[in-house]
């Protein structure tokens, strides 16, 4: 198992028919590309991709986005079958939520309930409100995703 391949919106846009026909419910093909990334859309939601000429593209998109998994309230996509329960993401997340960098210095913050926990050998979001992304203003932390060597985590929103 390896780190997750993370296609960029422009790359996906270039794979799409680029007609902005709106049949998918999105106003543009670029919006559909973002919808694929956030998992709000599936490749099959674009009717033109179901035509024979687009079969290779559809297969490629299904490969990229057909892995299943559940997007938690925090926007973290978890693919449980890829998680080996190593706990690395829990450790880095705990450090992330209890420290902040200010003026180049690392400052300790108050303890918070953990966001992530390994339960029965699989990672789970147990308290997403502690996530730095849930702060006001949000901090676009993604160290959990970066730390996972098995591609089980992806921040999609």
**Cβ closer to ligand SF4: 37 or 115?**
115
Residue 19, CA distances (Å) to 15, 28, 32 in order: 12, 8, 12
> Do 38 and 157 touch, CB atoms closer than 8 A?
yes
> Do 43 and 58 touch, CB atoms closer than 8 A?
yes
Q: Is 16 in the site for ligand SF4 (CB under 6 A)?
A: yes
- HSE-CB at 51 with a 13 A cutoff on CA atoms is 7
Identify which range of 2-10, 57-65, 79-87, 104-112 contacts ligand SF4 by CB under 6 A.
79-87
Q: How many residues bind ligand SF4 (CB under 6 A)?
A: 41
Can you read off the two tokens belonging to residue 47?
Answer: 């009717």
Measured distance CA(37)–CA(32) in Å, rounded = 9
Q: Is 12 in the site for ligand SF4 (CB under 6 A)?
A: no
CA dihedral 48, 52, 56, 60 (to 10 degrees): 40
122-141 residues near ligand SF4, rule: CB under 6 A: 123, 131-133, 141
Chosen residue from 6, 22, 55, 129 binding ligand SF4 by CB under 6 A: 22
Q: Is 157 in the site for ligand SF4 (CB under 6 A)?
A: no
Binding site for ligand SF4 (CB under 6 A): 16-17, 19-24, 26, 29, 32, 46-48, 83-89, 92-93, 96-97, 115-116, 118, 123, 131-133, 141-144, 147-148, 150, 152-153
């Amino acid at each position: 198992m390896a780190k997750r391949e993370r296609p960029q919106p422009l790359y996906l846009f270039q794979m799409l028919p680029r007609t902005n026909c709106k049949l998918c419910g999105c106003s543009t093909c670029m919006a559909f590309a973002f919808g694929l990334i956030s998992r709000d859309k599936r490749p099959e939601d674009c009717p033109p991709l179901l035509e024979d000429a687009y079969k290779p593209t559809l297969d490629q998109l299904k490969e990229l986005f057909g892995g299943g998994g559940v997007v938690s309230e925090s926007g973290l996509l978890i693919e449980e079958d890829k998680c080996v329960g190593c706990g690395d993401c829990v450790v880095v997340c705990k450090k992330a939520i209890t420290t902040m960098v200010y003026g180049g210095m690392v400052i300790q913050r108050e303890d918070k309930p953990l966001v992530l926990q390994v339960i029965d050998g699989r990672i789970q979001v147990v308290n997403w409100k502690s996530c730095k992304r849930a702060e006001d203003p949000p901090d676009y932390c993604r160290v959990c995703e970066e730390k996972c060597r098995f591609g089980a985590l992806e921040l999609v929103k």
